[in-house]
Amino acid sequence: MTYSKRLAALILIDSIIVTFSIFMSHYFLNPYMHDFDRLMFVSSVTLLLTHHLFSYLLDLYKKVWRYASIEELIGILVAVTGSIAVTTFEQLLFFGVVYERALIVTWMLHIILIGGVRLAWRYYNTYGFHFALGRKVNQANEDQDKKRTLIVGAGSAGQMLARQMKGNEQQDINLIGFIDDNFTLHQLSVNNVPVLGNTNDLAQVVEDKSINHIVIAMPSVERERVKEIITEAQKIVPNVQTLPMIEDIALGNISVSQIRDVSIEDLLGRDPVELDIDSISNEIQGQTVMVTGAGGSIGSEICRQLVKFKPEKLLLLGHGENSIYTIHMELKQLGLDTELIPLIADIQDRDRIIQLVGEYVPAYIYHAAAHKHVPLMEANPMEAVKNNVIGTKNVAEAADLAGVGNFVLISSDKAVNPPNVMGSTKRIAEMVIQQLAQSSTTKFVAVRFGNVLGSRGSVIPLFKKQIANGGPVTVTHPDMTRYFMTIPEASRLVLQAGALAEGGEIFVLDMGEPVKIVDLARNLIQLSGYNIEEIGIEYTGIRPGEKMYEELLNDNEYNQKPVFPKIFVGNSVEVDFDKVDVLIKEHFIFDQQYLKDYVLSLANDKDIASYSFAKVDG
């Protein structure tokens, strides 16, 4: 039903109820008096008009009544009482008398009928005709073939989910009960579903009730606690699912279809980053924005997040035509007002980049284009320098020349004390924009974050492929740890940093505790429906350039005070930019080993003078 039809239906129903309440109160109090005097007529009109007015002001016609709660009932009480109060005042003002008994009876009938219709609407939408026909005789036999389901969390999300489950006979679910840590609910029923205990009783309840399906319905609980419950549930039942996090749930719109399998992101044990929506919207809306590397996993997600803030133009710049075509078509199908402009260009082509930035003059450039694979860049240091350092310099200087407002570099935690070429080139790229920030009107900032789950360079796709092939899953070292975040989180951090930028900062996300790679592998094996013995884990040894532990800031960069919840900014560090210029101007005459030594020394602020130039033969 469309909104206009639904509104017309509710107004008509309420008008009938108000009119009926008035006539019935008149009949109850004066059963032998059939005259309807002027006082009653004026009072009826006033009551009808004020009821609709209060209902409109309290948004009662916009409520989703199938999810009605005590809040909606209080709204009805306020609307009815308000209309009665206005009618009482009108009788006293214009007629000098008040029909107290008639108004009291009208008030009672009004509340009972208005509330009753809404309750019936909710009951019908939830249970269909079963409230009238009763449950089928063979329902018990049918339930035996369904998943015996336990909901963890009897709060508003769990209650709405329970109503959906009970009202949808097509679902393969037999709801047995709730588990909740609120002790006041224990041994009681919520929506006719018993609360069977708290989370400490989970294993016992599963055994006693033969549970084979658990749904975690705790979208607003801290991620660390949810992780603990998921881990415990996975040990005792084969099928554990969860609702989306609270940021993904439209208010009052939870349904059985939103239940999803537990994902590796649910096991990070850290609450996600929230955005200052207003500040980002103020910066982005109506502007021209460029994303380099727009076809990559991070760049494409930045584009998906950006279009929500309604930029006038979004420039999708990338070197690979297929990936740019893919993200362009995906965003185009959304039917947004934002003009999407795909641009095929290589950031190493300085003239082309300057021409494009000068033509469009974006307010923001999000620079996500980079080579990120650590072992591959160890084997190809020249390409790492050309793309990550010189490519960044080209885009940054183009931004400076065109007077771009903000430039956000996507950096990495591997830029901290880097032992590898990839991390070193990302650190040098930070140096490049910090140098420009000292003299440019453009605000240059960098954003560092850890490993991104689901990105092309992430270990997750490799683990999934190995599990699909029957194993084993390969892990370099049992003690290796990494910071992890999701692709949407990484993209949000980038957008928030752009809005916070003043120039020259390095923003870092508080990513909680680092995660052992081997624990990630174990969790993914279990999420895939296998046990560790079936798939196996094989240790292959640390690869060239890899660190055992990652860091987010150097000791001399650390600033303990966050500039935004979960976002920190590093202190500026003095950099010898002459050495950066040498690398940019003369990298092509270095042999491969010297180039690696040079970028490592430069990124780690070590003495380079002890090295001698080794030029390529010829």
Which sequence positions are flagged as catalytic? Answer: 414
551 DSSP 8-state letter: -
| Cα dihedral 375/379/381/384 (nearest 10) | -50
Which is nearest to 391 in space by CA: 399, 456, 376? 399
Question: Cα(206)–Cα(193) distance, rounded to whole angstroms?
Answer: 16
Identity at 244, one-letter amino acid code: P
Question: Cα(352)–Cα(343) distance, rounded to whole angstroms?
Answer: 11
504 DSSP 8-state letter: S
Question: Cα(586)–Cα(591) distance, rounded to whole angstroms?
Answer: 11
Which is nearest to 399 in space by CA: 446, 366, 448, 438? 366
Q: Could you give the angle at which helices 577-586 and 592-603 cross, rounded to 10 degrees?
A: 160
Beta-strand pair 193-194/567-570 = unpaired
Question: Cα(387)–Cα(211) distance, rounded to whole angstroms?
Answer: 55
Which is nearest to 213 in space by CA: 189, 181, 177? 177
- The Cβ-side half-sphere exposure at 168, using a 13 Å CA radius, reads 15
Q: Where are the alpha helices (DSSP H) in 128-155?
A: 130-133, 139-143
Number of helical (H) and strand (E) elements in the chain, helices listed first = 23, 22
| Cα dihedral 217/220/223/225 (nearest 10) | -70
Here the tokens at position 517 are: 């790679």
Q: Where are the alpha helices (DSSP H) in 200-274?
A: 202-208, 223-236
- Give yes or no for a contact between 162 and 178, defined as CB atoms under 8 angstroms apart: yes
Question: Cα(563)–Cα(533) distance, rounded to whole angstroms?
Answer: 46
- Give yes or no for a contact between 305 and 495, defined as CB atoms under 8 angstroms apart: yes
Question: Cα(617)–Cα(598) distance, rounded to whole angstroms?
Answer: 18
Is 549 in a helix, a strand, or coil?
Answer: coil
| H/E run at residue 327 | helix 321-332
Q: How far is CA 417 from CA 2, 167, 265, 391, 598, in A?
A: 59, 57, 27, 22, 14
Q: Where are the alpha helices (DSSP H) in 361-486?
A: 374-379, 381-384, 391-402, 421-437, 459-468
Which is nearest to 389 in space by CA: 543, 572, 569, 588? 588
Question: Cα(396)–Cα(382) distance, rounded to whole angstroms?
Answer: 20
Here the tokens at position 452 are: 């991104």
Beta-strand pair 515-516/481-482 = antiparallel
User: What are the two backbone dihedrals, phi and then psi, of residue 361, each rounded to the nearest 5 degrees?
Assistant: 45, 65
The residue assigned the tokens 């297929």 is: 322
- Give yes or no for a contact between 166 and 127, defined as CB atoms under 8 angstroms apart: yes
The residue assigned the tokens 């999300």 is: 157
